[in-house]
Chains A and B, each alone.
Chain A
Amino acid sequence: MIRNYFYPPQARFPLLKLDDVAIREVLNSLDPIDYINFSKASKACRILSTVKTSCKVILIFMDFPVFCIYNSTNSDCFIWTGDKEKDGTRKIGTWENKSREVFYKYSENSLNAMQEFKELYVYVRSLMGVEIDYVVLKMDKLGGRCSEIVAWFRSIRQEVSDLTIYGTNQPQEEMQYLLDNLKFKNSSIICLDTIGDLPLEIPNKIEGVRITYGSWITFDYVMRLEISRMAFNSTYLTNQDINMFYKSWMKMQSHQNLEFFEINLMNPEDFVAVCLRDISYEIIPPIPEPLPNYTPMEGSFEVTRIDGLKAYFGVYDGPDPQGIVACMFTWLDKDVVEITLNLKELN
């Protein structure tokens, strides 16, 4: 049983005797978890709960699923666990710079957990407007249940804003199946080591893509993608390839809407000599961290496109598994690039 450590147990309050305006104000002040629990207190509460405004959810699929729900003020996460001792416990966790209340739910196995997860989603959706902010799939821990997840997404008929896929040594067909069948509108982050060297077909309409294990990525593939934020790691692209890419951008022959481009460097020491060959640049002080956890290794370079748009280039030591990367970005004041996510706290 979850115990309240915030308010004395003797406090009692006839909520339903208040005026509707005040009841609504109280309900709007509740944390998402408490709101859901209130809706289960009685049929009358269920009716009262169905007029709440919208919320956003983050759905994480791994061996045991995670369901995060948040509104403008509060954020709660349900984490299913196979550890019976954790059942019903809660703690305050910080994830993506937000304080979130984490609530553990025990389930005998991942199949039951998934069933409860789906039921919770349906229940929450019956209470309030739900927008799926992003979905994380950890393929290593899914045990081949991708098709089940895709089928579920089809059944709920909801678009996903952002999609992140993690995994190592995963069949490329399964990855492509996910990309083809999950509808997402903004960015896709793929941190995946696939078996097979065929290029993945990523829709150009998305805002950003990160492929962490991109051994199959070729120069032609990068040139074909018209996504505004791209990050590729573990590729075999040479510094000459990168130089051609930069020059193509400078001459506005490709990637005109590019905001961010990150690529691993096989020979970082030749970055200036080769990657910036025949490109006019100005040396500027190192731009600290275009992304969280990136350390600038030397000075930065300001390059101007033929239409006057400036871009900033630099070599960075990125967090694992990125390694040493060249970053190019066309802004200086954005706080965080959304295509980086740190999900370590939920691992």
Chain B
Amino acid sequence: MSSTEQGTSSAAPAEPTTAPESAAAPEVPESFYYVHGKDKVVHKVSAGALQHSALIHGMISNLGYTEEQAKANPFPFENIDGDILQMVVDWCNQHKGKPTPPEDTNLPKQKEKLFDLVLAVNYLEIKELLTYCCKQVAMMVKGKSPEEIREIWMIPTDAEDEAAEKEAKKRAGKEAAGETAAAAGDAK
């Protein structure tokens, strides 16, 4: 298993500039967690960056891992491609502790990846990123006719939907018949 050091905070803690008593307060060290996607490449991400993901934030809150435990047990997201997870991690790092602007120009522009990105972001429950991605998807059909929308969004026609429904019913019928026959065979 390979490992990258994504999201490692290299910046020194900010110098205190106010009252001495606040200077005396110890800095809480930032904690890090580890995630990997389908490609098993492990990404080190700070807890601050992961707060964007309601799913991971919930998992972290419940586990109470130490640094060592977290390193030994990266969160596996086998349903997310490695490059997509990398995009998500990058975005979380870029927006760590910051509100997301309405138009986020830092997002990856690869449109062919948009579908997988939306799936991943939705799964990881990253609300702001989902909103932004969905705006991109909506822009695909701006000014299009119903027929063009159907083509761009790969929407089946009514006839195709009906044929698929018939096929599904037929298959369900066959399966039910098969189960009945099997049950009858068992009974014998």
Residue A31 at the chain B interface, CB threshold 8 Å: yes
Q: How far is the CA of A167 from the CA of B62 in the complex (A)?
A: 69
Q: Are B158 and A4 touching (Cβ within 8 A)?
A: no
Contact with B along A269-282 (1 / 0, CB 8 A): 00000000000000
A12-B122 in contact given A34-B141, A37-B144, A41-B146 (Cβ < 8 Å): no
CB proximity of B61 to chain A, nearest CB, Å: 22
The number of chain B residues touching the other chain, given as a range, is: 20 to 34
Residue B156 at the chain A interface, CB threshold 8 Å: yes
Q: How far is the CA of A83 from the CA of B28 in the complex (A)?
A: 70
CB proximity of A139 to chain B, nearest CB, Å: 34
Contact with B along A1-44 (1 / 0, CB 8 A): 11111111001111111110110011111110010011011111
Contact with A along B108-147 (1 / 0, CB 8 A): 0001001100110011000000110011011111111111
For A2, give its contact among B119, B144, B153, B154 (CB under 8 Å): B144
Q: How many residues of A contact B (CB 8 A)?
A: 36
Residue A247 at the chain B interface, CB threshold 8 Å: no
Residue B151 at the chain A interface, CB threshold 8 Å: yes
On chain B, the residues within 8 Å of A18 by CB distance are: 115, 118-119, 122
Residue B157 at the chain A interface, CB threshold 8 Å: yes
Residue of B nearest to A37 (CB): B146
On chain A, the residues within 8 Å of B115 by CB distance are: 13-14, 17-18
Q: How far is the CA of A31 from the CA of B146 in the complex (A)?
A: 14
For A44, give its contact among B137, B139, B148, B156 (CB under 8 Å): B156
Q: How far is the CA of A135 from the CA of B137 in the complex (A)?
A: 34
On chain B, the residues within 8 Å of A4 by CB distance are: 141-144, 148
For A37, give its contact among B137, B149, B157, B158 (CB under 8 Å): B149
On chain B, the residues within 8 Å of A40 by CB distance are: 146
On chain B, the residues within 8 Å of A56 by CB distance are: none
Q: How far is the CA of A34 from the CA of B153 in the complex (A)?
A: 13
A-B contact pairs, 26 of them (CB 8 A): A2-B143, A3-B143, A4-B141, A5-B143, A6-B142, A7-B142, A8-B111, A11-B111, A11-B140, A12-B152, A12-B153, A13-B154, A14-B115, A16-B153, A16-B156, A17-B115, A22-B119, A26-B134, A28-B134, A34-B143, A34-B144, A38-B146, A40-B146, A41-B147, A43-B158, A45-B150
8 residue pairs, one from A and one from B, having the closest CB atoms: A29-B138, A15-B153, A25-B134, A40-B146, A41-B150, A4-B143, A14-B154, A26-B134
Interface positions of B (Cβ within 8 A of A): 111, 114-115, 118-119, 122-123, 130-131, 134-135, 137-158, 161
